[in-house]
């Protein structure tokens, strides 16, 4: 979304703090406003209020407005006669973007790279806290779409190519946002997986793939995060626009996923008043299909009924009552705690950076390096992705300054790399050359390819030729090709690291923090060595992108076809080393509704303390439906001192054993033998066992 700024296997969480506070408050109601009785449920209060509303007031709630009392990117006007509050909304997946300054959080993809739902929850809490301080009642985030094509311009805003990782991280992020009394908006629903032709392209997807891959992240986000809102996307899904798509909005989102919040449109992504009948609740500005005038004719001719209008309004009111907005001023502002925001941003980077290569233990750096050559413009800049998630930062640092501070006795030089020969010469005599490289992702367009832009590949190659002790630090939103990889010692991926990216990167380089991130998306070895490698698949032909790879998205395709990636899904090194042992299944068999419980031991065989994200994969029997060789079914991060061992216990939800059975329109676990693999990445699974599903 490009918004305008108008200045005027977790469990569903229990009641949020604002619900508890509301229940504890006085239940007395205003005599002429029975819906103000706080002893009633949100649903009961919504019914009472709905009965008091005129048709005009109801329709007003279904369209975004101008005139917000605080700077916002979206707004639902209040109904003062009845005490209905206005709703302020802000862009937000990477930090509050409402025309004011806020903490620039690391790119959202970093949450998934942490393989840690605690990190995602803290990220969400920070975003929610700052949104509330800015008088915002709703945040447009988290972004939950699948990273289907690695050149998608918004991959940095999304989490993963894997639906389970995406959904569980989205659920944790959502819980964090809403713990601050701010509505989270899971977006962009659904199949919004490219920016090319995003306003019109139709994602042609079979029903099994639609549910297993593209619906699952939203399903998990709803079940585990209980978001108050969902945003429907620009694109079409099987020829029907997402905000007009009753199959997506009503059948899948509400009936199958159990969503009970309200749906807002992207800007502009509505196509008619009857989008309300399809499941849309709020048409946000730039479109004018939902208004007092526009709904008259559909109501008269029966294309739209008053019951539908009432239901859409009721769904909004229930959420507003749940969040306590009738009892408090959601637009009240307070100062942002800059120190707390920066500290959270730094922790996210430190827990999500991925050490891709580390030959001869070139990292961590030591204080013996007396001459350090820093190369690349990204070292002296704070890189962000572009578009509606780009934050006006309260503060920012640079890695160049952080390196100088971390190595005060070293002679540190910097060359921005525009003149490749000069940069190589400056690095030649250094003890170590640190080359910082970045890509350019942003809303509104996809990357032209997987190579680093400008002359950065040549720059890295020439610096590495001049100095054999070359370390590359990537600041990217997703995969890039690395033709220079054999010639450099180490590669550290820090994504777009946000407000304290410099400080975090220096701590990672010197080993004050041990890298523990894992890749949430496969890094391809070649431009065409990707699942959607034909023009028909991406960007599409004749206005349609054909998802003919089916469920074989991301690492599933690499495993199915035997294609060797540059770096596999789940890969990530450490300054320590870890071994896996003693895999035990609690039971060797069970029914189709039984979880699969298992345990195993992870040992830190190094001397340095570190964290390891252990991953569990399931291989399904090839009966009734062809399945990928393996699928992520669980993960957990463990912190270990040098030489320490811990036993890990995980439970795989039966949903992770299932496939979408189109004949019964339901997820189904088939009988047969399932393979269980445990290890540090999708391509490194040293532990294995079998499990039998029996009726």
The catalytic residue positions are 266
Taking residue 546's Cβ as centre, other Cβ atoms within 10 Å add up to 18
Q: Which one-letter DSSP state was computed for residue 114?
A: T
In angstroms, the CA 433 to CA 378 distance is 14
Q: Which of 261, 254, 330 is nearest to 85 (CA)?
A: 330
Buried b (16+ CB within 10 A) or exposed e, 230-260: bbbbbbbbbeebbbbbbebbbebbbebbebb
Q: Which of 109, 165, 115 is nearest to 142 (CA)?
A: 109
In angstroms, the CA 16 to CA 232 distance is 25
Q: 648 has which bridge partners?
A: 600
| β pairing state of 202-204 and 236-237 | parallel
> Could you give the 3-state DSSP secondary structure of residue 656?
helix
Q: What's the token pair of residue 328? A: 């408090």
In angstroms, the CA 648 to CA 113 distance is 20
What is the dihedral sign for C-alpha 295, 297, 298, 300?
positive
The residues, any chain, with a CB within 8 Å of residue 314's CB and separated by 6 or more, are: 46, 47, 50
> Could you give the 3-state DSSP secondary structure of residue 615?
strand
In angstroms, the CA 297 to CA 406 distance is 68
477, 497 Cβ separation under 8 angstroms: no
Q: Which of 266, 143, 111 is nearest to 613 (CA)?
A: 111
503, 339 Cβ separation under 8 angstroms: no
In angstroms, the CA 575 to CA 578 distance is 10
Q: 651 has which bridge partners?
A: 597
Strand (E) positions, 349-446?
Answer: 354-358, 371-375, 392-393, 411-415, 432-438
Q: Which of 620, 624, 600 is nearest to 680 (CA)?
A: 600
Strand (E) positions, 476-540?
Answer: 490-493
583, 617 Cβ separation under 8 angstroms: no
CA 575 to chain centre: 27
In angstroms, the CA 404 to CA 320 distance is 50
In angstroms, the CA 563 to CA 558 distance is 5
Q: How far apart are the first and last CA of the chain?
A: 47
The residues, any chain, with a CB within 8 Å of residue 465's CB and separated by 6 or more, are: 424, 487
Q: Report, in angstroms and rounded to the nearest whole number, the Rg of the chain calculated over CA atoms.
A: 25
> What HEC string does 134-158 produce?
CCCCEEECCECCCCCCCCCCCHHHC
What is the dihedral sign for C-alpha 274, 280, 282, 284?
negative
384, 391 Cβ separation under 8 angstroms: yes
> Could you give the 3-state DSSP secondary structure of residue 336?
coil
């Amino acid at each position: 979304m490009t918004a305008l700024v108008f200045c005027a296997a977790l469990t569903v969480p229990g009641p949020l703090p604002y619900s508890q506070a509301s229940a504890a408050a006085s239940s007395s109601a205003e005599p002429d406003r029975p819906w103000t009785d706080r002893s009633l449920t949100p649903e009961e209060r919504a019914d009472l209020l709905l009965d008091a509303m005129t048709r005009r007031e109801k329709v007003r709630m279904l369209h975004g407005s101008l005139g917000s009392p605080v700077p916002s990117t979206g707004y639902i006007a209040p109904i003062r006669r009845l005490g209905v509050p206005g709703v302020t909304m802000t862009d937000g997946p990477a930090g509050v973007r409402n025309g004011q300054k806020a903490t620039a959080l690391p790119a959202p993809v970093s949450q998934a790279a942490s393989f840690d739902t605690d990190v995602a929850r803290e990220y969400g809490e920070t975003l929610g806290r700052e949104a509330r301080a800015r008088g915002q009642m709703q945040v447009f985030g988290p972004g939950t779409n699948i990273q289907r094509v690695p050149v998608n311009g918004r991959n940095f805003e999304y989490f993963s190519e894997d639906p389970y990782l995406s959904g569980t991280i989205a659920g944790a992020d959502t819980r964090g946002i809403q713990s601050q009394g701010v509505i989270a908006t899971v977006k962009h629903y659904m199949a919004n997986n490219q920016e090319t032709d995003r306003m019109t392209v139709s994602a042609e997807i079979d029903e099994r793939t639609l549910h297993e891959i593209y619906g699952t992240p939203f399903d998990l986000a709803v079940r585990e995060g209980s978001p108050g809102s969902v945003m429907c996307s620009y694109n079409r899904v099987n020829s029907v626009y997402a905000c007009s798509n009753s199959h997506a909005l009503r059948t899948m989102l509400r009936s199958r996923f159990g969503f009970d919040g309200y749906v807002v449109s992207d800007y502009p992504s509505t196509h008619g008043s009857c989008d309300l009948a399809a499941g849309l609740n709020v048409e946000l500005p730039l479109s004018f299909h939902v208004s007092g005038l526009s709904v008259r004719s559909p109501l008269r001719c029966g294309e739209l009924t008053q019951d539908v209008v009432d239901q859409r309004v009721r769904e909004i009111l229930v959420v507003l009552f749940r969040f306590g907005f009738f009892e408090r001023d959601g637009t009240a502002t307070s100062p942002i705690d800059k120190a707390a925001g920066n500290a959270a941003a730094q922790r996210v980077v430190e827990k999500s950076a991925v050490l891709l290569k580390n030959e001869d233990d070139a990292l961590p750096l030591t204080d013996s390096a007396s001459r350090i050559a820093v190369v690349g413009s990204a070292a002296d800049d704070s890189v962000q992705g572009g578009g509606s998630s780009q934050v006006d930062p309260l503060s920012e640092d640079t890695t160049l300054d952080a390196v100088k501070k971390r190595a005060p006795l070293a002679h540190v030089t910097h060359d921005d790399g525009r003149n490749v020969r000069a940069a190589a010469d400056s690095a030649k005599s250094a003890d170590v050359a640190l080359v910082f490289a970045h890509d350019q992702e942003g809303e509104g367009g996809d990357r032209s390819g997987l190579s680093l832009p400008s002359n950065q590949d040549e720059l890295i190659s020439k610096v590495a030729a001049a100095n054999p002790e070359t370390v590359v630090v990537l600041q990217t939103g997703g995969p890039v090709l690395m033709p220079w990889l054999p010639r450099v010692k180490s590669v550290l991926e820090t994504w777009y690291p946000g407000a304290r990216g410099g400080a975090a990167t220096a701590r990672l380089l010197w080993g004050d923090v041990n890298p523990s991130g894992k890749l949430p998306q496969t890094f391809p070895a070649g431009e065409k060595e990707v699942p959607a490698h034909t023009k028909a698949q991406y960007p599409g032909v004749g206005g349609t992108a054909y998802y003919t790879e089916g469920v074989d998205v991301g690492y599933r395709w690499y495993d199915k076809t035997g294609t060797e990636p540059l770096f596999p899904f789940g890969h990530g090194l450490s300054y320590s080393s870890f071994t896996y042992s003693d895999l035990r299944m609690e039971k060797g068999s069970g029914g189709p509704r039984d979880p699969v419980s298992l345990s195993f031991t992870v040992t830190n065989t190094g001397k340095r303390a570190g964290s390891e994200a252990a991953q569990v994969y399931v291989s399904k029997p090839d009966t009734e439906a062809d399945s990928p060789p393996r699928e992520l079914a669980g993960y957990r991060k463990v912190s270990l001192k040098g030489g320490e061992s811990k036993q890990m216990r995980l439970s795989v939800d039966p949903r992770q054993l299932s496939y979408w059975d189109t004949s019964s329109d339901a997820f189904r676990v088939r009988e047969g033998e399932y393979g269980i693999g445990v290890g540090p990445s999708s391509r490194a699974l040293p532990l294995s066992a079998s499990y039998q599903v029996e009726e």
